Amino acid sequence: MQLVKLKLKTNSKVEQAKKLIGIFCLLQNIKLSDTELTVLAYFMVYKINRKTKDLILHSGILKTEDSLKNTMSKLKKFGMLVRHVESKEYSLRHDLDFQVQTQVGVLIKIDNS
């Protein structure tokens, strides 16, 4: 098996999460806007809660509560967020729900057999 190593430096955990999500979306053929990637990265780093939603709004990533709800709805439609029926709360899809560390490695296996 051939192994190709690439190194990428980011300036923050949010930027790091955004790059990871971008790789995931590329491999899954999911097309998200830069804003949607940023929102998802914030949720990955800070978790989905009221404080993070307020941070997204106050930092100007999204302007209104309605735009945040619409973005979350779209992320759910693409399978990036999961809404729990009993609590009506959202969480990240299982394979994106991990703590971002200082360094993260990604193993991608591409098989043509």
Q: Which tokens in the block code for residue 50?
A: 């009221």
Instruction: Give residue limits of the domains in the chain.
Output: 13-96
Cα gap 73→27, rounded to integer Å: 22
> Which residues sit opposite 90 in a β-bridge?
83
pLDDT digits (tens, 9 = 90+) for 21-62: 998 899 899 999 999 999 999 999 999 999 999 999 999 999
SS3 of 20, please? helix
pTM attached to this predicted model: 0.85
User: Nearest to residue 83, comparing CAs of 74, 24, 29, 30?
Assistant: 74
Reading phi first (left if > 0) and then psi (alpha if -120 to 50, else beta), residue 107 is in beta
Answer yes or no: CATH 1.10.10.10 is held by domain 13-96.
yes
